[in-house]
Amino acid sequence: MVSRHFLGRYLGQEKGPLLVAIGAMHGNEPAGVKGIELILKMLEVEPITHPEFIFRGRFIGILGNPVAYQRRMRFIDVDMNRHWQVSRIRQQIQQPEQPKLVEERAILNVLHLIHEEIRNYQPTEVVLLDLHTTSSTGGIFSIAGDDPTSQNLAVELPAPVILGLADELKGTLLQYVKSIKLDVPVRTISFEAGHHTDPLSVNRCIAALTCCMRAIGCVGQNDVESQHMRVLLDQAEGLPKLTRLVYRHSIRPEDQFVMQPNYSNFKIIRQGEIIAHDSKGAVPSPFDGRILLPLYQKQGDDGFFIVQDIPV
Ligand SMILES: [Zn+2]
């Protein structure tokens, strides 16, 4: 039986890396799934339009959270991208019965798919590209796993790279992969492609996938449609190439946190500026910097983040 998480696979003619793309780890973020489905179609027709086309490696597309995706909710029981805890997952893999929480089952299924693929293919390396979108507008960015090889890959995407965020967010896929030992080198990137409902977020996911395929040597510089790259470049224009996280404002439901309107990713903010309200009153910014991921949806534990530019 084909897994509900399986979106498709492309087998290259030559041996190489395994690129694993994950969409909708948050169910209300459909752009990644659509991007993966479209790039699979584009890869199918590429050898017909360009007979000299060679794909080095293998590509697999995975739907992170099919149950939440169907209901267009960020999650059902727990936030899937804050729930990749090594010890719990290790325990649950040993148990014969399925975990109770929807997202815990989804994590085990996704891991099963990835491990099967690695076992069957024996790639030269594994690259995980986790595709997301945001509830705020303005700006795209990537978060690299906390290792220089992942960061070098993130810099290849024409989008700002946020350093330090991978460490700050607990229980992400990026953190999980860093903590486990695989027999093969692994690089991990999360890519935020724009607003949840912006149709161009799909194009940006395609562009991120194409860029990634080029950077890791699956395809040549001129293979696969380059028109999508334009939307990535347009959106990244004027944004800093490299930034570092300096603050995370975590929230709980009882805080009754509400963002002030009209904040978008990378908007410059000043120390003391009132950027939200909660049950205790006004929430001023503790730093100068740029706001990231201001919360404009009901579900989530992060009110906002602040990053500062790193000169390059
Ligand atoms: Zn997300």
Indicate the pLDDT class of residue 226, thresholds 50, 70 and 90. low
Q: How far is the CA of 135 from the centre of ligand 1 (A)?
A: 9
Q: What is the pTM of this model?
A: 0.91
CA 86 from chain center: how many Å? 19
Whole-number Å distance, alpha carbon 50 to ligand 1 midpoint, is 35
Domain with CATH 2.40.50.100 in the chain: 243-309
Which of the following CATH numbers is that of domain 243-309: 2.60.120.380, 3.30.420.40, 2.40.50.100, 3.30.930.10?
Answer: 2.40.50.100
Write b or e for each residue in 289-305: b if 16 or more Cβ atoms lie within 10 A of its Cβ, otherwise e.
bbbbbbbbeeebebbbb
What is the band of 222 on the pLDDT scale with cuts at 50, 70, 90?
confident
CATH 3.40.630.10, domain 6-236, yes or no: yes
* pLDDT tens column, 146-175: 788 998 999 888 899 999 888 888 899 999
| Structure tokens, 155 | 């810099």
> What's the pLDDT band for 299 if we cut at 50, 70, 90?
confident
Q: What is the pLDDT of residue 225?
A: 65
Rg (alpha carbons) of the chain, rounded to whole number: 19
pLDDT digits (tens, 9 = 90+) for 191-205: 999 999 999 999 999
Paired tokens of 234: 């347009």
**Closest to 209 in 3D by CA, of 219, 197, 194:** 219
132 CA distance to ligand 1 centroid (A)?
A: 4
CA of 295 to the centre of ligand 1 (A): 12
Question: 171 with 179: CB under 8 angstroms?
Answer: no
Residues of the chain with CATH 3.40.630.10: 6-236
